Every structure is written in C-alpha cells, then in structure tokens.
Amino acid sequence: MALQDKYKELLDAAKASGVNNLQAIEKDGVLYVDGEAPSGAVKDQLWDMYNKIDPNFLAGDMVMNVNVAAAAPGAKAKVTTEKSNLNIRKGPGTDQPIVGKAAHHSIVTLVSKTNDQWWLIRTDKGEEGYAYAQYLTPEG
C-alpha cells in the first residue's frame, strides 16, 4: 500500500473531481491507476499532480491510464498538433499509408473511436481516415 500513500493526493483529487470507474491496483512495485475523467482539464490536473509527486515521471512506479470520457460520434475535435498538420491514415497505425492531412488547429468531425490511440475522423474537406488521438482535442 506504500504507493497508494505516495500518490494519495492524486487519488483523492481523482475521486473528488469525478473520475469514473476509478481503480488503483498496486502490484510488484507499480501502481496502476485507471479511470475516465469528465474532461481534459481534469486529466491535465491529475498529470500536474503526478509531475509534482514524481518529477518528470522518472520513478517508473505508476502507470496512469486516465482517459477523457469518449466524445460522441459526430462531435467536433480540434487538431492540436504543435505546429504541423496531422496525418490522416488508411488504418490505425503509423505503418499505414497517409491518405490526407488535417490542418493545424482546424476542426474535424469524430466518426468513431477505434481505441484510445486512434480515432476515425473526417475533415471539413471530406477526407476520412485515422488520426492519432493525442493530437485531437474534443470541442466543448
């Protein structure tokens, strides 16, 4: 239970901020935290606390898989790459051919969520394909 104590502040904050299906399992020196955050802001807040407790996440004693509640199909998402355009691929994986690009900071439509890493999207130009979910921020 040592790690539950180390990350107690974070776990308490997750509970208080309405993270759904929150689960913390400690096994072989690693704390596995799973759950569904009500918003991207809550997820960011939890990662800020993680960074405070374990600066730069170097201890390797926690795997925090807290997702943001799935946006409904048809919802809009903003392309939040650093500055480049976002590749749209034929399938979910960087080994898949690029079939289009979504412009930096443009708004795309979420068609469906393949998994936590890849979403099927459609641009306003009608291009459809898979994009890396990390660079997509659901609107609203």
CB of 27 to another protein, least distance (A): 6
Tell me how far, at minimum, the Cβ of 70 lies from another protein, in Å: 13
Q: How far is the CB of 77 from another protein (least distance, A)?
A: 17
Residues of this chain that interact with another protein (CB under 8 A) are 23, 25, 27, 30, 32, 34, 47, 51, 56-58, 60, 63-65, 67, 93-95, 116-118, 132, 134
Strand pairing category for 76-79 and 136-138: antiparallel
Q: At what angle do helices 8-16 and 40-53 cross, to 10 degrees?
A: 170
What is the DSSP secondary structure assignment for residue 80, as one 8-state letter? -
Minimum CB distance to another protein smaller for 63 or for 75:
63
For another protein, the closer CB: 82 or 126 = 82
DSSP notation for 12-75: HHHHHTT-EEEEEEEETTEEEEEEEESSHHHHHHHHHHHHHHSGGG-S--EEEEEEEPPPPTT-
Question: Running DSSP on this structure, what letter comes out for residue 117?
Answer: S
In the bound state with another protein, the residue whose beta carbon lies nearer, of 28 and 126, is 28
E strand or H helix at 121:
strand 118-122
Considering the complex, what minimum distance in angstroms separates the CB of residue 63 from another protein?
5
Identity of the residue, 25 or 75, whose beta carbon is nearer to another protein in the bound complex: 25
